């Protein structure tokens, strides 16, 4: 490429009937000035292009890094979400197992309470039956006693006292059998 210095140092041969030397020199000076400006501007623009290309390369590297970071972040987020879902599933499964266990324990407790209730009802029925029998026996004994008194003399002899004592003993034994 021709530089402004090449233009300035260029010498033309002299010829007869040639151009006016002063006009050619003036014109060449104008060309040198303009070409020098264009040449300097061209060098500055090339430097700017290099600088901008370096910046573009940096930005491209930064973009690649950001893309890789986003990919890593996305995969990490996916792993965290997957892990959280697994943990949630385990928690739900554990809660269901505990729920079933609690329900089973409650059902067993209800069965035990029902058995205890039935046992107590039977015991109450047995107690009622025994007590009723005891009272009926005592009423019969009293009826017999009063009917004997009405049939016999008003005086009570020693044999009657013995019978009463025997009856009292029987009553006490019956009461003991009832657990009272």
Model pLDDT for residues 77-119, shown as the tens digit of each residue: 999 999 999 999 999 999 999 999 999 999 999 999 999 999 9
CA distance 141 to 131: 15
Q: Provide the domain limits for residue 146.
A: 4-10+19-153+160-178
Secondary structure tally for the chain: helices H, strands E: 3, 0
**Token pair belonging to 1:** 């490429």
CA distance 51 to 57: 10
Is residue 141 a contact partner of residue 167, using CB atoms and an 8 Å limit? yes
Express each pLDDT in 6-59 by its tens digit.
Answer: 777 777 777 777 777 787 888 888 888 888 899 899 999 999 999 999 999 999
**Token pair belonging to 126:** 């047995």
pTM of the model: 0.40
CA distance 56 to 148: 134
Sign of the Cα torsion 22, 27, 32, 33 reads positive
**What's 154's DSSP letter?**
S
Q: How many domains is the chain partitioned into structurally?
A: 1
């Amino acid at each position: 490429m021709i530089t402004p210095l090449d233009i300035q140092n260029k010498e033309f041969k002299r010829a007869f009937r040639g151009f006016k030397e002063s006009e050619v020199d003036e014109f060449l000076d104008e060309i040198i000035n303009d070409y020098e400006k264009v040449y300097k501007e061209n060098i500055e623009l090339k430097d700017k292009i290099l600088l901008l290309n370096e910046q573009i390369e940096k930005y491209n590297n930064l973009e690649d890094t950001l893309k890789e970071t986003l990919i890593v972040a996305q995969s990490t987020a996916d792993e965290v979400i997957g892990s959280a879902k697994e943990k949630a599933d385990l928690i739900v499964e554990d809660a269901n197992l505990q729920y079933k266990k609690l329900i089973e324990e409650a059902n067993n407790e209800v069965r035990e309470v029902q058995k205890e209730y039935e046992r107590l009802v039977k015991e109450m029925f047995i107690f009622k039956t025994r007590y009723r029998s005891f009272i009926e026996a005592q009423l019969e004994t009293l009826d017999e006693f009063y009917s004997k008194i009405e049939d016999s003399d008003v005086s009570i002899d020693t044999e009657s006292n013995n019978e009463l004592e025997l009856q009292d003993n029987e009553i006490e034994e019956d009461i003991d059998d009832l657990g009272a």
